[in-house]
Amino acid sequence: MAEDDAVPLTGKVKDKLIATKQDWAREGRLLTGMHADPRAERLPPGQRLVQDFPVLDLGVQPDVNPQNWRLRIEGLVAAPVRLTLEEFRALPQVERVNDIHCVTQWSRYDNSWHGVSVATLLEMARPKDEARFVALTSYDGYTTNLAMADFAREENLFAHSWEGAPLERRHGGPVRLVVPHLYFWKSPKWVTRIELLREDRPGFWEVRGYHNRGDPWMEERYG
């Protein structure tokens, strides 16, 4: 993250929680050993439905002033992009309704999001032919990775609103990525940087034992 993108952080990194989740990966906790077809089963194996929207983070929440928020698209692109929030919201807007699935076993149906499609941003940046992977960085220092094929899907978007209201800070506001076909750790909150890469670069949880892709119906919780 560039120095001019730094923002204040509230809270303290939950080292014990992170260690516990690493233990889960080593132990294979929550695994059922089952697979499902998303065309036939709406709820992935081992998941339970919730009505609320649980808050999960590393223990810190960045206090991003909307006036200072920036989204950068860099790396293997022909036209690097740097957007303010005003510029981001002036782009063509989309609405998506989808289910989300957290690796900690909760799922929530029919979430309504407003924002900018990934396709719109990629069209602006013009990825080079050799760009096969994406690394994402958030204002709290969190990182995760996606294959370009997963990142560029039509349903994915960078959301600024959820259920008709601006996205709350605790849920990733001003803007978060939403990739509904993978476990939700692949949909980073407070996103600020998108880097297109030739080679894969595993992120925060991926280097701590979690699966590199994270398909809920294949129960790809751990690597």
Mean pLDDT of 108-130: 98
In the chain, where are the structural domains located? 3-218
| Single-letter residue type at 204 | F
Which class is 3-218 in CATH?
A: alpha beta
Mean pLDDT of 53-72: 93
- 1 secondary structure, DSSP code: -
CA pair distance 199, 127, nearest whole angstrom: 14
What are the two backbone dihedrals, phi and then psi, of residue 163, each rounded to the nearest 5 degrees? 55, 40
Beta pairing partners, 60:
11
Q: What pLDDT score does 104 carry?
A: 96
In percent, the amount of the chain with pLDDT more than 70 equals 95
- For residue 3, pLDDT over 80 is answered with no
Within the chain, where are the H helices?
15-27, 85-89, 118-125, 148-151
Residue pLDDT, tens place only, 5-40: 666 666 678 899 899 999 999 999 999 999 999 999
Residue pLDDT, tens place only, 159-216: 999 999 999 999 999 999 999 999 999 999 999 999 999 999 999 999 999 999 999 9
pTM (2 d.p.):
0.94
